[in-house]
C-alpha cells in the first residue's frame, strides 16, 4: 500500500507539471540601475547574499569595504519565493531519450523540504529531477547565483566579479585588471570565460587521491557531475594545464566564492540554463557547460575565509 501511494503521488506530479519553462523563468525581475566598480575593467562587483549564512555575507562586505568596493547585492531568493510549481521549472525535465537506469531525486515538498529517490525509466518522462546530492540549500545557492548572471546579462556588462560566501582578500584586488590583461595577451581575450581568483588546494579532502592541483586531478568522482542529458567527460573535467607563472587552465573545480566572468562566459551560462534545468550543485554544473573555458590564478588573490573551511571540516 505504501508503494502504491508513492507511485500515485509521483503520477500526479507528472500530470500536474508538463511545461517547457526553465530555471531562468523563475527568477525575479531586478531593478535596472548601474553601479560602477572602482576596479578598472570590472563593470560590476556582485556579492551574493542568499541569506543562508549572515556571517559569511557580512565577512565578504567587510573585506570588500577595506578597498572601498561597494558591491551590488540583489534581493536574495529565499524559501518562501519557491513554490512546488516553480520548483518543477527549476529542475531537469526528464525525457525518455536521456540516460536511464540511474538514481535521481525529486522534490515531494519544498517547505518543509522533502525529497524522494527514483530509479530512472521511460515512465518518468516529464518528471522534474535533481541529483541525489541536491539539497534545499544548494538549490537556493544555484538560483541566487543565476539571478546575478541574469542581471549582469540584462545590464550588458562585459565583465563582472562575483563574490559568494565568506572571502579573504589576500592581495589588493586592484591587481585584477593587470592579471586579466596578462591572460588576454597570453591566450587571447576570447579564449577564456571564467577566471577563479585563487587556487583550490584547500579542497584536497574532496578528492579520493593525492593532488598537487597543478597536474590532472586524481580521484575525481564523476558522480558529482553526472547528468542524464549529457555524460561527463572524465579527461576534460580532470585536466589541469599550467600556462604561465600566474595561470592554470582547469577542467573543473569546486566552489564559486570568487570568480571573474566575462561576456562570453555570461552568455554561455545563460544559454545553458535557458535550455537545461538545474540538476547538480552549481559549482559542479559550471564545468559541464559546453565549450566553457575555465582558468584560475596559481597564487591566491581572493580566496575562502578560513572560517568557511572550518565549517566544512577542512583546514588550510
Q: Which residues contact 103 (CB under 8 A, 6 or more apart)?
A: 117, 118, 119, 120, 132
pLDDT tens profile 257-299: 999 999 999 999 999 998 889 999 999 999 999 999 999 999 9
Query: Would you state the CATH architecture of domain 24-77+137-311?
Result: Alpha-Beta Complex (3.90)
Please give the model's pTM, rounded to 2 decimal places.
0.89
The residues spanned by each domain of the chain are: 24-77+137-311
The phi-psi region of residue 261 (left if phi > 0; otherwise alpha if psi is between -120 and 50; otherwise beta) is beta
C-alpha cell at 193: 570565460
| Percentage above 70 pLDDT, the chain | 89
- 197-224: per-residue pLDDT in tens? 999 999 988 898 899 999 999 999 999 9
- Grid look-up 573535467 returns 237
Amino acid at each position: 500500500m505504501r508503494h502504491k501511494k508513492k507511485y500515485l503521488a509521483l503520477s500526479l506530479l507528472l500530470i500536474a507539471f508538463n511545461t517547457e519553462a526553465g530555471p531562468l523563468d523563475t527568477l525575479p525581475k531586478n531593478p535596472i540601475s548601474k553601479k560602477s566598480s572602482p576596479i578598472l575593467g570590472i563593470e560590476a562587483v556582485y556579492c551574493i547574499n542568499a541569506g543562508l549564512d549572515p556571517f559569511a555575507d557580512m565577512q565578504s562586505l567587510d573585506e570588500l569595504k577595506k578597498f572601498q568596493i561597494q558591491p551590488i547585492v540583489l534581493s536574495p531568493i529565499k524559501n518562501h519565493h519557491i513554490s512546488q510549481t516553480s520548483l518543477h521549472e527549476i529542475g531537469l525535465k526528464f525525457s525518455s531519450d536521456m540516460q536511464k537506469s540511474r538514481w535521481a531525486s525529486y522534490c515531494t515538498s519544498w517547505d518543509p523540504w522533502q525529497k524522494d529517490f527514483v530509479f530512472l525509466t521511460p515512465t518518468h518522462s516529464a518528471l522534474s529531477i535533481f541529483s541525489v546530492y541536491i539539497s534545499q540549500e544548494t538549490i537556493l545557492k544555484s538560483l541566487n547565483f543565476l539571478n546575478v548572471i541574469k542581471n549582469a546579462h540584462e545590464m550588458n556588462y562585459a565583465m563582472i566579479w562575483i563574490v559568494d560566501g565568506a572571502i579573504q582578500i589576500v592581495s589588493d584586488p586592484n591587481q585584477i585588471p593587470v592579471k586579466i590583461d596578462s591572460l588576454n595577451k597570453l591566450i587571447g581575450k576570447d579564449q577564456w570565460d571564467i577566471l577563479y581568483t585563487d587556487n583550490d588546494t584547500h579542497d584536497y579532502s574532496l578528492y579520493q587521491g593525492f593532488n598537487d592541483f597543478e597536474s590532472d586531478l586524481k580521484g575525481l568522482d564523476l558522480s558529482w557531475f553526472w547528468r542524464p542529458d549529457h555524460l561527463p567527460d572524465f579527461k576534460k573535467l580532470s585536466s589541469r594545464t599550467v600556462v604561465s607563472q600566474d595561470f592554470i587552465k582547469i577542467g573543473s573545480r569546486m566552489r564559486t566564492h570568487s570568480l571573474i566572468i566575462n561576456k562570453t562566459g555570461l552568455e554561455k551560462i545563460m544559454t545553458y540554463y535557458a535550455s537545461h534545468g538545474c540538476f547538480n550543485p552549481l559549482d559542479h554544473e559550471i564545468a559541464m557547460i559546453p565549450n566553457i573555458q575555465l582558468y584560475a590564478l596559481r597564487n591566491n588573490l581572493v580566496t575562502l575565509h578560513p572560517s568557511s573551511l572550518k565549517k566544512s571540516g577542512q583546514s588550510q
